[in-house]
Amino acid sequence: MVTKEYSKAYTEVLEILKHVPDKDVQKIPKEKLDFYKNNMDKDYDYKLDMTKEFEVQEMSEITKAILANIFRDYWATPEQKERIELKEKHDLEKLEEEKREKYNPDDIFKNKEQETAVENTNLPVKIEKETFFSKLINFLKNLFNKNN
């Protein structure tokens, strides 16, 4: 099942492809174009503003990703493909490194040991009973702080 966001993105992609030269559109497999047509949102009306540059056109992030994949897979030169793949690999490695730092199992267990050590310390605590007068003072303080 295709989500509403993807259906709208397919509509946007197909509208953009109407303004791409036919020789470039023909490089995209017919099955892929048929998939976009069959799953597009037919109620969504998307029009390109031809007075604006392509980079500033209103479109969803999903549309941008689909167009980037189409460019990489069907229109890019071998040099462009190589640069794109290197960039994607670099971004993926950076993301994995961030995950490794954030979810490092060694650090997780160290923190857990420290937390349990703190939790196991049972120190006597003096419990003071709050008097009626102090309750009244605290209530009035809270009342005035809420109004300010």
Write the DSSP symbol of residue 75. Answer: I
In angstroms, the CA 14 to CA 28 distance is: 12
Given the structure tokens 């559109």, which residue do they identify? 25
Handedness of CA 104, 110, 113, 116 (dihedral sign): negative
Q: Hey, what amino acid is at 34?
A: D
For the stretch 86-134, pLDDT in tens is: 999 999 999 999 888 888 766 666 655 555 555 656 667 677 777 777 7
49 confidence band (pLDDT: 50, 70, 90): confident
Residues 6+ apart with CB under 8 A from 16: 48, 59, 63, 67
Query: Phi, psi (5° rounding) for residue 124?
Result: -65, 140
Residue 12 scores a pLDDT above 70: yes
In angstroms, the CA 73 to CA 65 distance is: 12
For the stretch 51-73, pLDDT in tens is: 888 888 889 999 999 999 999 99
Name the residue among 2, 1, 9, 3 with its Cα closest to residue 44. 9
Model pTM greater than 0.85? no
Taking the chain, what is the end-to-end CA distance rounded to the nearest angstrom?
52
